[in-house]
Structure formats: structure tokens, C-alpha cells
Structure 1
Amino acid sequence: MALTEKIVDYPDADTACKGFLAWDDARPGPLPAVLISHAWGGRQEVFNQKARDLARLGYAVFALDMYGEGRTGTTVEECSALMQPLVADRALLSRRINAALAAVGGLPQVDSRRIAAMGYCFGGLCVLDLARSGAKVRGVVSIHGLLKAPAGVARAPIVAKVLVLHGHDDPMAPVEDVIGFEKEMTAANVDWQLHAYGRTKHAFTDPHANNPDLGLLYNPDAERRAYVSLLNFLEEVLR
């Protein structure tokens, strides 16, 4: 194994984005690729590490940058200020993540016919909107992500398979959002799955999540189960 990594600069209109690419240079390429869309704090080191972990399994993995310039936040106020412009403008959000997909598809390490995307929290919303845009990706995985469909945004037929890994007690994706998502995907004739983990709140894969009053709580059992489901899904859609 020869794990290699580098920063990849790519544009979205006037925004200069900085993604993180990891791949095993000892494997014959081009490789199937996985995009990782970060949570509301930006492309922090934890997402670079997730890219390395998946790269060891034979994927070219790209931790993308939704905010531009690799910006990150540490406080609630900073993270909210970074995320809200994209949540408020879902057309911009869709364009930004499609710019990352275009950048990845052009990399020499990547088999552009075999690309999937996954995201955490805010990033889960991003990859669902990537699928809603009609992007030619094999599959998308939302992990404790936001589920509401955008209003007033042009959409195309969804070609990706969709997997949602969801905490049943997540206050940021309540039951009515789950039902709405299920109806949306079924009406669109999508190959979709939703795995709901009982007694599980938001951010269940984050060991630092420990605020049950806000609905943020790490759950190691749900994290383990979700990771198995993620790997099985990637194997299915990218083989």
C-alpha cells in the first residue's frame, strides 16, 4: 500500500475551493471514487481522515469543500454563518457540490464512470441535493443528514441509488421530514433505502457529540451499524 494524498484546487464560479484527495497509489487505476461532503464546520481534519480510511479500501476519496478556500468554523456562530447562505440558496448549494463532482471526474486517479458521494449532517443534505440535480453518480449516502427537498429549484430525474442512515430521534430530521423524503423518493421512482436507528439522535457518528438537550449525541452502536451499511452500499454501487 502506498497511500497518497494532496490538496486539489477547483473552482465554482468566483469561489476557489480546496478539496482533499487520498488514494492508494499501489492499486492500478483509475479507481472508483467517493466524494465526502463535510458537516457544518467545513472540511475539517476529521473528514480528511475519513477519506484516508476509505482510500485504504481501494477508493479514490475526495473530501470536498462547500465553503471555499478550505474555510472551517469552530463555534456555533461561525459554523452557522458558513452554512446558512447555502441552506438558504439551494440552487447555489447544488451548483457548488456539482463543481466538486466535475473536478473529481476529471482527475487521472478516478474512473469517472464509478463515482459515489456521501455526507454528514449538512453534508448529507448536500449529497441528496446532488442526486436531486440529476448528477450522474452511482449512489449517494446521507449520514444523519437533513432531508427536506428544496423549494423552487429546478430538478432532473434522479439516477443515483440513495441510502439514508438516520437516527430516529434526530430533531433536525423529524418524522414528518422522513415521511416527506420517502414520498419524494418513491414518486421519483428512485432505488432508495432508509435505515432508522432507534433511540438515536443527531450526529450519532461523532464521538464529540454530547448535548442531548440539542439532540446531539454519539451512539457507538449506531455508528458501527451505519459504517457496515455504508461499506456494503459502496461495494454494491461501485463494483
Structure 2
Amino acid sequence: MSGRVVNYYDDSIECKGYLSLPESSKSMPLVLVAHTWKGRSEFEDQKVISINSLGYAAMSIDIFGSGVNGGSVEENQTLIEPFIKDRQIFRQRLISAVEFGKTIEGIDASKIALIGFCFGGLAAIELARSGYELSGCVSFHGLLNQSDEPFQKVNTKLLVLHGDKDPMVSSEQILALQDEMTESDADWQFISYGNTYHAFTNPAAKDIEMGTVYNHDSDVRSWTAMSNFLEEVFSNVNK
């Protein structure tokens, strides 16, 4: 495997991703990894390597641009705010990463998925909402903030992996998302893990007051669910 930092663009905004491809003589699927509200970090880059072990190419993407990282809760909130408020900008930034992914040598452009964590989980849902067609989207403990922006016909399969005790997601938001996906006649799944808080896949999450707590069992179970989902969507292209 050869991992490297790659630059790609959304109009004039330079984004910095981390790309790694297993050795293969054939074109392979690509999994894009969307970051938390901190920005692209070692956490997402390590997920890239883990995805390689499943036999897929992977790239952690840069939604904020310029490789920016937040250093506090306040900075993180400031970084995500423009994308929460303007979903068109959010969607276009994600689509630019997918379009770049299609141009990478060794990638099967018909087999691209996006997964994301926390803010990146919302990114996975928002990309599905955009109507853009790709193999699949997976949200890990994603924010479910609704917007006034009309959603398009959902053309990609969606898997949402949620912690039942996540304080950042209300039951109303869950129902609203499910109603939205059903109304769009989407192919969607929603798995809720009991006794599980926000950020349950991050071993560094240990803040019970904030509601961010790692859960080993839910981490393993959700990764297995994602792996099975990717195997399905990559074997059912154009269906």
C-alpha cells in the first residue's frame, strides 16, 4: 500500500486528502472518509488504512479546505457552521471530492462510497440528500441537523449507524430523517446501538458530560455493518 497526501479543488478552494491504495492489478472501489468537526486528522487517516484491509482504496477528504484543524470546541463549531447553514456549499464540497476520486488511477469510477464520522456522518447523509448518485453512504454517529434546503431524489443507498444515548441527536431528528428517506423512496437502513453515546468509534472519546464516549462493542458492530454494506453496494453496481 502507498499512502500519500493529495491535493484537489472545489473551485478555488484547495483541499488536502490522504489517499492509500492496496496493490492490485485491477481497478478497485474507492471509499471516501469524511471527518469530524475537528477537520481531517490521524483518526480519519487511520480509517483509510483499515479500509485498505477490506480490499478497497480509500481517501480521507478535507471539507474545510487547506487542511484546517480546530483546536477547541469553539473553533470546531466555527468551522462547521458555514456548512450547516449553507447545504449547497456543503454538498458541492463533497461532490468535488467524489469527482476527484473518479480521476484517480486504479479506481473503478462506478464503485465509490462515502463514509463519515460525527460531522462527517452528516456529510454522508447530506451527499445522499443532494441526489448525487454513488454506490453508498454510511454515517457513523452522525449529526442529523435538518435544513431548509429541499432534498433531491435520493439515488444512493444509505446506512446510518447511531448511538441510542447520543445527546446531540433528538428523537424528532431521527423520525424526520426516516420520514425524509421514506418519502424519497430511498434504500435506507438505520441501526441504533443501545447504551451507546456520541463518538462511539473513537477510543479517545471519554467525556461523559459532553456525551462523547467510546464503546468497543458498538465500534466493532458498526464496522462490521459498514463492511457488509460496502460488499453489497460494490457488488450491485447500477442496480
Alpha-carbon distance in 2 for matches of 1:70, 1:92: 17
AA in 1 matched with 2:123: C
Alpha-carbon distance in 2 for matches of 1:70, 1:203: 21
In 2, are the aligned partners of 1:23 and 1:56 still within 8 Å (CA)? no
- Give the structure 2 partner of residue 9 of structure 1: 7
AA in 2 matched with 1:161: K
Aligned residues: 235
Quote how far apart the aligned CAs of 1:150 are.
2.4
Say which is worse superposed, 72-81 or 220-229, in terms of deviation: 72-81
Question: What is the RMSD computed on CA atoms of the aligned residues?
Answer: 1.1
| TM-score, reference length from structure 2 | 0.95
- Give the structure 1 partner of residue 74 of structure 2: 77
Q: The residue matched to 2:209 in structure 1 has which SS?
A: helix
In 2, are the aligned partners of 1:125 and 1:146 still within 8 Å (CA)? yes
Unaligned runs of 5+ in 1: none
Residues 98-141 of structure 1 show CA distances to partners (whole Å, capped at 9, x for unaligned) of: 11011001111211101111000000111111111111211100
| TM-score, reference length from structure 1 | 0.95
Q: The residue matched to 2:204 in structure 1 has which SS?
A: coil
Alpha-carbon distance in 2 for matches of 1:227, 1:154: 31
Is 1:234 the counterpart of 2:230 in the alignment? yes
Identity %, equivalent residues: 39
Is 1:90 the counterpart of 2:87 in the alignment? yes
Structure 2 residue corresponding to 1:39, chosen from 36, 40, 57: 36
Matches within 5 A, 1:134-153: 134-151=131-148, 153=149
Q: The residue matched to 2:225 in structure 1 has which SS?
A: helix
Quote how far apart the aligned CAs of 1:42 are.
0.6
Q: The residue matched to 1:214 in structure 2 has which SS?
A: coil
- Give the structure 2 partner of residue 162 of structure 1: 158
Q: Which runs of 4+ in 1 moved over 6 A?
A: none
Residues 201-230 of structure 1 show CA distances to partners (whole Å, capped at 9, x for unaligned) of: 111111111111211111111111111101
AA in 2 matched with 1:52: I
Is 1:29 the counterpart of 2:29 in the alignment? no
Alpha-carbon distance in 2 for matches of 1:37, 1:77: 20
Say which is worse superposed, 68-77 or 31-40, in terms of deviation: 68-77
In 2, are the aligned partners of 1:73 and 1:79 still within 8 Å (CA)? yes
AA in 2 matched with 1:85: P
Q: The residue matched to 1:172 in structure 2 has which SS?
A: coil
